[in-house]
């Protein structure tokens, strides 16, 4: 495995509300990284209202995700669209076909697996507005989840709603097939904001009491679920009271640490560059907007993931093989419930499932490159 392959990162930009600056920031991150020589793929997963192609100045018909969904192509590599920057490619959501906005569950999982297997140093995912499960699951596939909001009450409450829904979705995904803890989580999630105790601390206490063998998974969620908060249209260094409230709300109501990684200044000229955001960014090199993007990147990437020598990309066939392998393992290795949890989680992070299997002394040829 080369140095480059090891550090492939997926960054997702979400935020709940439309118009808060997700797409502009996605492109800014892509442009800033590609200017550093990184190979970047931008993926437009705002499936109902894709606009990255427009912001990138790409006119005319290009291949798009619709070709993949309709099986006109079998790999995402085939629909990469070049941009004016050498190292920056786009997977466009431009062509709209029925069912595109909300792909079926299996298609969503297939899209996620194929995005994770793309050949790039950075993959940047631009999400749509709202808290639909598909949006939450796309957000959940990233190593780095960025939540961007404007410092306005409506946008901040939407950002909180998005973080809360992502957190609950993560818990439900992971524990859904666990008869005992899964049901307890479902019931807790259904309670209103006032009564719900669905915080990380509550989860730790409950899992310890009810299904202690699943405790390592809770620990992993705690390490993993740390959204990075970006405030748009606020000068660098300022912390708006609404931002402080949002961070406190996440801590109190969810037990989730939200890290405020920076602000982006309000720049009126953007509106003159909506048919070519990279050109806007060129005009900003060394100026406040571009400097702010660079600072954000530094803050986010300094939390770099521990690198692993393990194989991290799996084809659909290999994943099926791993699931069959887990099914065939001796039940005494772990509880039946944790076997189900492993199978479920394999759809998302195979290498973590494999770390767990290896800790139990199990090995398989597919675990390595
Ligand atoms: N930092 C900023 N300063 C001024 N205008 C901005 C800024 N960021 C975004 N905008 C404007 O806000 C609009 C919405 O941005 P966009 O990235 O498309 O939002 P979203 O993807 O969240 O719907 C754009 O038309 C852009 O002109
Ligand atoms: Mg957008």
3-state helix/strand/coil string of the chain: CCHHHHCCEEEEEECCCCCCCHHHHHHHHHHHHHHCCCCEEEEEECCCCCCHHHHCCCCCCCCCHHHHHCCCCCCHHHHCEECCCCCEEEECCCCCCCCCCCCCHHHHHHHHHHHHCCCCCEEEEEECCCCCHHHHHHHHCCCEEEEEECCCHHHHHHHHHHHHHHHHHHHHHHHCCCHHHHHHHHHHHHCCCCCCCCCHHHHHHHHHHHCHHHHHHHHHHHHHCCCEEEEECCCCCCCCHHHHHHHHHHHHHHCCCCEEEEEECCCHHHHHHCCCHHHHHHHHCCCHHHHHHHHHHHHHHCCCCCCCCCCCCCCHHHHHHHHHHHHHCCHHHCCHHHHHHHHHHCCCCHHHHHHHHHHCCCCCHHHCC
Which residues are found with C-beta within 5 Å of the ion, ligand 2? 22-23, 46
pLDDT value for 2: 46
Question: Does the beta carbon of 181 sit less than 6 angstroms from any atom of ligand 1?
Answer: no
Q: Is 23 in the pocket of ligand 1 (CB under 6 A)?
A: yes
- How many angstroms does the Cα of residue 127 sit away from the middle of ligand 2? 7
Distance 159 CA to ligand 1 centre (A): 16
Nearest CA to ligand 1 atom 15: 21
Instruction: Name the residue ranges covered by the structural domains of the chain.
Output: 3-177+221-301, 311-369
Distance 183 CA to ligand 2 centre (A): 35
In this structure, which ligand is nearest to the CA of 24? 1
16 touches ligand 1 (CB under 6 Å)? no
Ligand 1 atom nearest residue 266's Cα:
3
| CATH code for residues 3-177+221-301 | 3.40.50.300
Ligand 1 centroid–CA 88 distance in Å is 21
- The pLDDT of residue 310 is 61
**Digitized pLDDT (tens) for each residue of the chain, 369 residues in all:** 444 445 689 999 999 899 999 999 999 999 999 999 999 999 999 998 999 999 999 998 999 999 999 999 999 999 999 999 999 999 999 887 887 888 899 999 999 999 999 999 999 999 999 999 999 999 999 989 999 999 999 999 999 999 999 999 999 888 888 889 999 999 998 887 778 888 999 999 999 999 888 888 888 888 889 899 999 999 877 788 899 999 999 999 999 999 999 999 999 999 999 999 999 999 999 999 999 999 999 988 876 544 445 677 788 888 888 888 888 887 777 777 777 777 777 766 787 788 778 777 777 777 765
pLDDT for residue 7: 64
Query: Hey, which of 21, 45, 152, 291 would you mutate to test ligand 1's pocket, going by the most ligand atoms within 8 Å of its Cβ?
Result: 21
Q: Say what the pLDDT of residue 8 is.
A: 83
- State if residue 270 touches ligand 1 by the CB under 6 angstroms criterion: yes
């Amino acid at each position: 495995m080369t140095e480059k392959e090891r550090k492939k990162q997926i960054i997702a930009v979400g935020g709940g509300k439309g118009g808060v600056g997700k797409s502009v920031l996605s492109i800014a991150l892509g442009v800033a990284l590609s200017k550093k020589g990184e190979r970047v793929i931008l993926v437009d997963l705002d499936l109902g209202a894709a606009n990255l192609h427009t912001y990138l100045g790409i006119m005319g018909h290009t291949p798009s995700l619709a070709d993949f969904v309709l099986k006109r192509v079998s790999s995402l590599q085939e629909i990469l669209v070049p941009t004016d920057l050498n190292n920056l490619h786009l997977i466009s959501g431009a062509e709209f076909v029925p069912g595109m906005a909300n792909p079926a569950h299996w298609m969503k999982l297939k899209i996620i697996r194929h995005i994770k297997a793309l050949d790039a140093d950075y993959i940047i995912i631009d999400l749509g507005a709202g808290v639909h499960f598909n949006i939450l699951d796309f957000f959940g596939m990233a190593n780095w989840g960025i939540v961007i909001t404007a410092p306005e009450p409506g946008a901040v409450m939407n950002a909180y709603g998005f973080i809360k829904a992502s957190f609950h979705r993560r818990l439900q995904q992971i524990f859904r097939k666990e008869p005992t803890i899964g049901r307890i989580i479902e019931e807790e999630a259904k309670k209103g904001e006032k009564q719900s105790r669905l915080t990380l601390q509550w989860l730790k206490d409950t899992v310890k009491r009810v299904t202690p063998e699943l405790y390592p998974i809770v620990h992993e969620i705690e390490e993993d679920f740390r959204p990075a908060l970006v405030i748009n249209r606020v000068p660098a260094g300022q912390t708006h009271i609404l931002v402080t409230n949002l961070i406190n709300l996440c801590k109190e109501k969810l037990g989730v640490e939200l890290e405020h990684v920076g602000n982006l200044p309000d720049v009126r000229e953007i509106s003159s560059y909506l048919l070519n955001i990279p050109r806007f960014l060129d005009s900003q090199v060394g100026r406040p907007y571009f400097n702010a993007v660079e600072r954000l990147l530094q803050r986010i990437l300094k939390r770099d993931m521990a690198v692993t020598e393990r194989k991290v990309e799996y084809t659909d066939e290999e994943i099926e093989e791993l699931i069959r392998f887990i099914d065939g393992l001796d039940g005494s290795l772990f509880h039946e419930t944790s076997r189900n949890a492993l199978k479920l989680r394999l759809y998302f992070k195979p290498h973590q499932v494999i770390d767990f299997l290896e800790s139990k002394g199990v090995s398989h040829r597919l675990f390595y490159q």
